[in-house]
Amino acid sequence: MASYDPRECRVCNEVFDEEHRRPRTLSCSHHFCTNCITKLINNQSKQCPFCRVEFQAATAGDVMVNHGVEDFIKYLSHKDSDTTGHHQHHHEHSGTEKIDNAVKDIGASNRNLLVDYQNAETRIEDCIQSLLALKLDLQNENARIEVELLPKINELMSEHKDAIQSLEKTQIKLACQLKEAKDKKRHLRNANEKHDTLSAMNLKEIMSKKDKYSKEHASVESWLELFKNLSPEDDKLIRKTKKVCRSTKEKVSVAIEVFSSKDSSDEDASPVLDNAALTMRELSFSGQLTPQRLQEMSEPVKALVKQRRVYAIHLDQGCLRSAKFTVKGDYLYMHHLEAKSPPADAYTLEYRDVLSLSEKSSTLTFLELSAGGSTLGRLHVLLAPDTPRARNFALLCTGEKNHSYAHTSLLWARHKGQAMEGVWGGDYEMDDGEGGMALVRGLTTGGEYKRPWTAGTVEGLWWKGDAQGAQFLIYTRDNPGKICERAFGVVERGLGVLVRAINRYPDIKQVKVSDCGLVIHRSTSH
């Protein structure tokens, strides 16, 4: 293998200098001299000669100078000069160099330790904030149980007592009617038995019997009519009571499961108690679920959503797809459409009706990021104004056209630590950066897409047009004085999730878009 001199450009093999051959580093970390990079740009070949990764630069001056390489070359030159001119002091210089190197190593170690301590301090602070938030949640949950759950349990018990009393009254009434029915049956049977003796009676006796039988018959008919009118009401009461009993048994059994298990930890009990509280609130929901009632997010509706019982359905070319709703904090989410039917007991809304709740001029979407099976967090991406690029992104968040960003990888993290730092992704076809056809064709550049380059800006790619129009870039740092030419949205919430992912995962492809969709409701305080 040929030896490689780090003082030389690996393309022209000329030694780097401080004028025309300054070492410059591409985004892939390979460095070459200014002249060679200028030739690459002039030849319209903006790719690294070694790894073929593309770079963005109009001139060689746009590519960062590698000051580390320059300092290293100066150091080697100084060392060679000292060796040639002062050979007699070799041992003295050697000792001095060792001391200098030791000092440098200690300084580097101290800097690394400082960074580690700062990172540890940040993680500890995050843990403290999480514990404080958990404490607040527990306090709120305790207050909610006292204010909401216990009164509803008492109300439920009162309803059951009323139902039992009504059933007892109905039972007494039905017992009396049963006795009366048996008496009527006995009278009619006696009348039939005496029918054969009528021929031995005279006309006067027959007419007297006829009047008596007519009155008896009228009495039976009247009783049957009365029973007919009363039975549906009683039957309805019985059915309603049985339904309430059955529903209550299902809901209360959840709480019984917690309190009967002495070995259950608080961690195990918490979800079950949450479920009990939710199901109790379910009982107070009645009527038809409409998009407007969903957007209002009353407590009964929120309980249904938390129980995964609210879905949007979309019928397209004979294929039924559904999207679940979830709630987190003050936000209501509609996830991307999937080719499956909702549960049998779910409340369903038309997908198109739900879309009417979202403002076209400022659609709020979300991307959920995960790595190694663990959820990292959600990005809220505000699409404004309504442009073809924004509509293209929204379609891939909802999955309306059978394609979505769900289960795709983030592709590259570029210019880490620099003003141009960002991440791109969105290749729903190939998941390697070679695909991602736009669903809305004819995407353009400039004009309505021009806006300042700030942290959180979401921009489309600049090459291959519609062929990769679904791919996107999210910038994580401000770049003062620079303008984005294809911007169509901004990360309104959760940018820190992406920044932490860049710093935590050297290979950003480990991070996936595990889910996506629309944010239908958000608190007015946000």
Give 404-435 as a 3 state SS string. CCCCEEEEEEECCCCCCCEEEECCCCCCCCCC
- Find the DSSP H helices in 86-202: 90-144, 150-194
- 366 plus 508 within the same structural domain: yes
Question: Do 406 and 399 form a contact (C-beta atoms < 8 A)?
Answer: yes
Residue 389 reports pLDDT greater than 70 = yes
Residue of 60 and 397 predicted with greater confidence: 397
Residue 448 reports pLDDT greater than 60 = yes
> Could you tell me what percent of the chain has a pLDDT over 90?
39
pLDDT of 217-242, one tens digit each?
Answer: 666 666 666 555 555 555 555 665 65
Residue 487 reports pLDDT greater than 80 = yes
Confidence grade of residue 159 (pLDDT, cut at 50, 70, 90)? low
Q: What is the mean pLDDT of residues 506-524?
A: 91
In whole angstroms, give the CA distance from residue 487 to residue 458.
6
* pLDDT at site 283: 44
* pLDDT at site 250: 58
* pLDDT at site 247: 59
Q: What is the mean pLDDT of residues 56-68?
A: 87
φ and ψ at residue 285, rounded to 5 degrees = -90, 130
Of 60, 85, 110, the position where a domain reaches its end is 85
Worst-scoring range by mean pLDDT, 114-123, 179-188, 189-198, 447-456? Answer: 189-198
In whole angstroms, give the CA distance from residue 314 to residue 305.
18
How many domains in the chain?
A: 3
Residues in contact with 510: Cβ distance below 8 Å, sequence separation at least 6, in sequence order: 371, 372
Q: What is the mean pLDDT of residues 419-447?
A: 95
Q: Is residue 410 assigned to a domain?
A: yes
Q: Is residue 393 assigned to a domain?
A: yes
DSSP-derived 3-state class of residue 261: coil
172 lies in which domain range?
A: 144-256
Worst-scoring range by mean pLDDT, 266-270, 415-419, 450-454, 506-510? Answer: 266-270
Tell me the whole-structure pTM to 2 decimals.
0.51
Strands 310-316 and 347-350: parallel
Residue 34 reports pLDDT greater than 70 = yes
- 392 plus 478 within the same structural domain: yes
User: At 79, which CATH number?
Assistant: 3.30.40.10
Confidence grade of residue 88 (pLDDT, cut at 50, 70, 90)? very low
Of 256, 280, 314, the position where a domain reaches its end is 256
Q: Give the DSSP H or E segment for 147.
A: none
- 385 plus 475 within the same structural domain: yes
Residue of 43 and 173 predicted with greater confidence: 43
Environment class of residue 343 by beta-carbon count within 10 Å: exposed (0-12), middle (13-18) or buried (19+)? middle
* pLDDT at site 490: 98
Average confidence score pLDDT of the chain:
80
Q: Is residue 334 assigned to a domain?
A: no
Residue 83 reports pLDDT greater than 90 = no
Of 66, 85, 104, the position where a domain reaches its end is 85
Residue 262 reports pLDDT greater than 80 = no
Residue 52 backbone class (left: φ over 0; alpha: ψ -120 to 50; beta: rest): left
Confidence grade of residue 369 (pLDDT, cut at 50, 70, 90)? very high
Q: Which of 526, 517, 523 is nearest to 363 (CA)?
A: 517
* pLDDT at site 463: 72
Q: Is residue 303 assigned to a domain?
A: no
Worst-scoring range by mean pLDDT, 59-63, 373-377, 382-386, 434-438? Answer: 59-63
Environment class of residue 442 by beta-carbon count within 10 Å: exposed (0-12), middle (13-18) or buried (19+)? exposed
- 151 plus 223 within the same structural domain: yes
